[in-house]
Structures are given as structure tokens and as C-alpha cells.
Structure 1
Amino acid sequence: MNKIKNACIVDDDDLFQFVMRQHFERLGMVENIHKFSDGEQALTYIRSNLQQPDLLPELILLDVNMPYMDGWQFMREFVKLDIPADKKIKIYILSSSTHESDLQKAKEFPVLAGYLVKPLSKQTIQQLLSELLPAHTD
């Protein structure tokens, strides 16, 4: 079975990271799961691997509300990066908020694949990963 090579969970909630990791592992659709507790850590990882596209994530689950660098700050910096043209990275904003201002802010970043409301079910994660797999070849 094909697998996503790299997925990132960017969230300051340890329990959420644990649950997402469990979903990923049980589904068996991701080789490497990278966890970061703020946007700056995730950006550092991505920047350090721009010359090694195989290490870049295909999927990023990005929390909106985090201390230090939140999801919106991450996105403002991410869009400035020179991601290799053949590397597709799907980023989903995560929030427990369905507030209209957050939904509108997400529309400011066309690179976002979607806005997901927590908690995420195993079925939602499976659907996101399945959408990535058909175009993914090894």
C-alpha cells in the first residue's frame, strides 16, 4: 500500500498530538509523523529541508491558537518559502472555533487545503490521507 512519506502535526496540545499520532499509526498510511508544539518549530524543520524535498511534509495539520507562533503567523511565513515546484504540501488549519472571522481569515491563504474543526475523527484523517494517496507515487 502506498503511504504518505511525511506528515506534520503542529499543535501545542500534547493530548491532541497523541490522538492524531494514534490515528495515523492505526491507519498505517503515513511513514513519518513529525510533531511540533508551535509554528516556528515547524517552519524551522521545513526551511532546513527545502533542498531535500523527500523530507518535506505532504500534509500539515496546523492549529490556529498556539503560543509563540500561531497558525496565522506560520501561514504568513510559509507562503514566503521557496517550496520546490513539484512538491505538493496540503495544509489544513485546525481550530475549535467556527467563528466567522477565523473562517474569513483562512480564505486569505489560497494555499490552505481546508479549515477543520476539532476534534478530528479517525474517519476525517483517513479521508485526508486517502485524498493525498492517489496522486502520490513511489
Structure 2
Amino acid sequence: MIKKIQCVMLVDDNKIDNFFHERIIKKHDATIKVLPMPFAEEALEYLKATDDRQQPELIFLDINMPGMNGWEFLAEYHKLPSENQQSMIVVMLTTSENPDDRAKALTHGILSDFRSKPLTKEMFEEVIEIYSKSQNQ
């Protein structure tokens, strides 16, 4: 049985990408809450909050962003409580064609995947399946 995703975070400074990716997610399931975060720092503050905010199960993370980039975000993400990390899947979603970036992503251990933009309906469904399998283990 595929587990339903309740909340997805988009960490990307490109507003057009966030808009497009949110539409893809909403077309898959209009009830999914989408949290577009244009700055990695803002996304981390959201994840660190101890209030009743809905935490994402899935994070699509861009590599190249001004200020804190995707790699720096991941370094800080590793400092979150382990129970938070275990309930989330982080997917690098980037325009980078650099094979070194793909290799570097795999060394972070938390990534379920490394995908090229743009997010497609099929890609989103594949990631949902990966999430579902990881939660059923």
C-alpha cells in the first residue's frame, strides 16, 4: 500500500520552478500541502520550529542557491534530531549535469534520489513510491 504524502517542501530560489513544481504536485493530489521556500535558511528555520507546524515528509532541494546552497543545507539538516530526519526524504532536484554533484549527493546518505529539473508527474510518483517503501520498512 502506498502511503499518502501530506506535506512537501520545495527549497529553491527560483520562483518559476517552485510554481511549476507545486502545480505538478497538486495535480497528483490537491490535498497535499506544498511549502515553497525560496531560501535554504528559511527552510531550516521551518524544520527546526517546535510549534505545531506540519513537517514535510518529502523535501525537493535545489543545489545552486544564493546564500546557503543545497550542500550547506544538508550539512545543517544532519544536525536536526534523528527522528525528524527519519520521517523525511530529501531529493536533490537540480539543473546540474555535473557527475560530481550526483556522486556527492550519494555520500550524504539521506537522499533517496538525485533528479534533474523539472519535476514531472512520473518523477513525483516514483519518489512517492520510494517514500512509501521506506515508511513500510
1:38 aligns with 2:39: yes
Aligned to 1:111: 110
Amino acid at match of 2:17: F
Aligned to 1:70: 69
For these two proteins, the number of residue pairs brought into alignment is 135
Do the aligned residues in 2 keep the contact of 1:62 with 1:92 (CA within 8 Å)? yes
- Cα–Cα, structure 1 residues 40 and 94, in superposed 2: closer, same or farther, change >3 Å? same
Alpha-carbon distance, 1:108 to partner:
2.3
Q: State the AA in 2 paired with 1:20.
A: H
Give ranges in structure 2 of 5+ residues lacking alignment.
Answer: none
Q: How far 1:5 moved relative to its partner?
A: 1.4
Q: Tell me the equivalent position of 1:21.
A: 22
Amino acid at match of 2:110: V
Q: Spell out the pairing of 1:1-138 with structure 2 (5 A cutoff).
A: 3-28=4-29, 31-49=32-50, 55-84=54-83, 87-133=86-132
Which residue type is aligned with residue 108 of structure 2? F
Q: What's the RMSD between the two structures over aligned residues?
A: 2.5
TM-score normalised by the chain length of structure 2: 0.85
Residues 85 and 69 of structure 1: CA distance in aligned 2, closer, same or farther (over 3 Å): closer
Equivalent pair of 1:21/1:33 in contact (CA under 8 Å): yes
Q: What stretches of structure 1 of length at least 5 have no aligned partner?
A: none
With normalisation by structure 1, the TM-score equals 0.85
- Describe the shift of the 1:35–1:86 C-alpha distance in structure 2 as closer, same or farther (beyond 3 A): closer
Larger displacement relative to structure 2 (124-133 or 109-118)? 124-133
Q: SS of 1:107's equivalent? A: helix
